[in-house]
Amino acid sequence: MNIRSEISHLKKVVIHNPGIEHHYTLPENTYEWIEDTHGGMVHNPDYLLFDDLISPSRMAGEHLQLADILSAFTGKIDTLHFVELLQDVVQEQSKREELLESCLALDEDIYGERQKGDFAKLIDLNPSAFVDVILSGRYLNDSIQSVFKWPLPNLIFTRDIAAIIGEKLLLTWGKREARKREMLLTKFIADHHPVFCNISTYDFHSLHPDLSIEGGDVIIFDENTVFIGKSERNSKEAIDAI
């Protein structure tokens, strides 16, 4: 992989078709501000950066049209689907166990507690069913069991979870809690998938744990110039670190 321009010929792309995660996004996740007990407005800790609920089936159909357009330029083999990449790297039981524990630990770090339940049986799921749990945060057995507090509806915005700068893969880290599990999954794919085995990575969170940066604000202008938007998501300190 080698990106020296934002507008040169597209050769390979990673996308995510909206799926099961959107079935578990709730109305309470769509309000950025809520009223507190004193009548004031406070930030909603359960806001997932989506301002409305969507029709997953309709949105998935529209996204498949986008995938077809991208494939016309890259070819189907180089239109990489995030879910398929993740399924590839959890074929082994040990990898499923490693990823599940990492995600549970992150959820606990963000929200202060782990969901209660015996999750050992999740390790025995096939890769497809296991990935559904990781993205949706829910396990459907005799009833719906919460594994993580919230699903990952923002994963459709794959531009944010990484960026290629020259020959280096920038593994990003979101400002908001709603996006951090996506970034953890992206790092897991980059660490274990053969597609990325010969690519040098820059693990932003490991190197700068107190900062955030998102790929959607990184634009490669030419071989010598990178534009990075300064915003709530990307501080001056984060840009300087890059």
User: pLDDT for 75-94, tens place per residue?
Assistant: 999 999 999 999 999 999 99
| pLDDT score for 102 | 98
* Distance from C-alpha of 8 to C-alpha of 4, rounded to nearest angstrom: 8
Domain contains 92: no
Task: Report pLDDT digits (tens) over 14-72.
Answer: 999 999 999 999 999 999 999 998 999 999 999 999 888 999 999 999 999 999 999 99
| pLDDT score for 1 | 79
The total of structural domains in the chain comes to 1
Domain contains 170: yes
Q: Domain range holding 209? A: 156-241
Domain contains 201: yes
| pLDDT score for 96 | 98
Domain contains 46: no
C-beta separation of 202 from 124 below 8 A: no
* Distance from C-alpha of 74 to C-alpha of 72, rounded to nearest angstrom: 6
Mean predicted lDDT score pLDDT of the chain:
95
Alpha carbons within 13 A on the beta-carbon side of 40: 3
Task: Report pLDDT digits (tens) over 116-149.
Answer: 888 889 999 999 999 999 999 999 887 899 999 9
Domain contains 25: no
Task: Report pLDDT digits (tens) over 173-199.
Answer: 999 999 999 999 999 999 999 999 999
Percent over 70 (pLDDT), the chain: 100
Candidates 165, 134, 164; CA nearest to 24 is 134
C-beta separation of 137 from 150 below 8 A: yes
Task: Tell me the mean pLDDT in the region 227-231.
Answer: 93
Beta strands, E only, 44-187: 79-81, 138-140, 144-146, 162-165, 168-171
Q: Are strands 162-165 and 79-81 parallel, antiparallel or unpaired?
A: unpaired
- 3-state DSSP percent of the chain in helix, strand and coil, to 5: 45, 20, 35
Domain contains 87: no
| pLDDT score for 30 | 96
pLDDT at 154 over 80: yes
Domain contains 19: no
Q: Cβ–Cβ contacts within 10 Å for residue 232, how many? A: 8
| pLDDT score for 211 | 96
Domain contains 193: yes
* Distance from C-alpha of 96 to C-alpha of 49, rounded to nearest angstrom: 28
Q: What one-character DSSP code corresponds to residue 239?
A: H
| pLDDT score for 137 | 97
